[in-house]
């Protein structure tokens, strides 16, 4: 310890700057402070034993109080039902048109591993396995170029998500229209040239119980998003 103190006294530049970017909590483990319901219900979201619990109905989202442009988002989640569906939206609009249930934005998919089998295509065959490991796609009209295309979506290069009851960790880097996703400790997906580059974060309720914890954000210097690339501000 004395050598560490001596080093810091001799080299004060090693001390962290007061204004250096740092992670801060978006969920305090006690209540829903910092979040705004958009189109779900008072019963959809709750806090239990320090976890943010979404019961899955009705389908819709709640959003962050403010918008974000350049940032790193850390979020941990687990599905509680086989085939569960959810996700987090970045660069999202903070309202949802009456004819839709989910907002315009970049969705970072969170699906339980049995989703393709329990939600087959019209021909009865399981859906593409790319769905279930952090697929990225523009929703509601947002456009972007996929790193690993599955149509207009981008699927992960490696299947890293865990199944029902197990915790998954997403680290999402969003900078200047590019998004990169790490799943459980490894970067495996991305999209670029997003048509929206500043907006709200939204957590999705889509039919199944899901838990969240350790939701943190590190904001980075931004300022390049044009008005056309910015989601409308919700008063």
Region 18-44: what's the mean pLDDT? 94
In whole numbers, what is the pLDDT of the chain averaged over residues?
Answer: 93
With residue 22 as reference, give the H or E element that holds it. none
Mean pLDDT, range 178-194, rounded to an integer: 98
CA distance 121 to 130: 14
H helices of 74-161, in order, are 115-118
**Structure tokens belonging to residue 117:** 């089998």
Instruction: Tell which phi-psi region holds residue 177, choosing left (phi > 0), alpha (psi between -120 and 50) or beta.
Output: left
Going by the DSSP 8-state scheme, the letter that residue 228 receives in this structure is G
Q: What is the pLDDT of residues 68-95, one digit of tens each?
A: 999 999 999 999 999 999 999 999 999 9
Residue 38 confidence (pLDDT) above 60: yes
Is the pLDDT at 56 greater than 70? The verdict is yes
Give yes or no for residue 182 having a pLDDT over 80: yes
CA atoms within 13 A on the CB side of 165: 1
d(Cα 201, Cα 186) in Å, to the nearest integer?
A: 22
Q: Are 54 and 44 in contact (CB under 8 A)?
A: yes
CA distances to 35, 58, 78, 127, 131 from 40, rounded to whole Å, are 12, 6, 20, 27, 24
Q: Report yes or no: 205 and 66 within 8 Å, Cβ to Cβ.
A: no
Sketch out the chain's domains with CATH numbers: 20-217 (2.60.120.560)
Model confidence at 230, pLDDT cuts 50, 70, 90, reads: very high
Give 54: exposed, middle or buried? Use CB within 10 Å, 0-12, 13-18, 19+. buried
pLDDT in tens, 93-134: 999 999 999 999 999 999 999 999 999 999 999 999 999 999
pLDDT band at 20 (very low <50, low <70, confident <90, very high): confident
Calculate mean pLDDT across residues 41-54.
97
Give pLDDT, residue 15: 52
Q: Which residue has the tokens 């910015």?
A: 230
* Whether the Cβ atoms of residue 69 and residue 197 lie closer than 8 Å to each other: yes
Is the pLDDT at 6 greater than 80? The verdict is: no
Range 31-44 average pLDDT: 97
What pLDDT does residue 1 have?
Answer: 46
Whether the per-residue pLDDT at 154 is higher than 70: the answer is yes
């Amino acid at each position: 310890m004395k050598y560490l103190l001596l080093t810091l006294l001799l080299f004060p530049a090693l001390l962290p700057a007061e204004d250096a970017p740092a992670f801060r909590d978006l969920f305090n483990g006690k209540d829903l402070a910092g979040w705004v319901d958009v189109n779900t219900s008072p019963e959809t979201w709750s806090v239990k034993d320090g976890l943010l619990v979404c019961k899955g109905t009705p389908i819709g989202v709640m959003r962050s109080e403010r918008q974000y442009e350049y940032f790193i988002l850390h979020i941990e989640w687990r599905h509680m039902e086989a085939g569960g569906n959810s996700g987090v939206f970045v660069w999202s609009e903070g309202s949802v048109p009456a004819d839709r249930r989910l907002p315009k934005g970049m969705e970072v998919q969170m699906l339980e591993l049995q989703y393709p089998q329990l939600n087959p295509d019209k021909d009865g065959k399981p859906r593409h396995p790319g769905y279930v490991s952090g697929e990225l796609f523009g929703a509601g009209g947002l456009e972007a170029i996929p790193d690993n295309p599955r149509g207009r979506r981008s699927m992960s290069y490696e299947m890293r998500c865990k199944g029902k009851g197990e915790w998954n960790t997403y680290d999402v880097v969003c900078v200047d229209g590019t998004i990169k996703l790490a799943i459980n400790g490894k970067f495996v997906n991305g999209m670029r040239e997003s048509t929206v580059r500043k907006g709200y974060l939204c957590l999705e309720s889509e039919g199944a119980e899901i838990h969240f914890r350790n939701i943190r954000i590190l904001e980075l210097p931004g300022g390049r998003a044009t008005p056309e690339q910015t989601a409308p501000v919700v008063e």
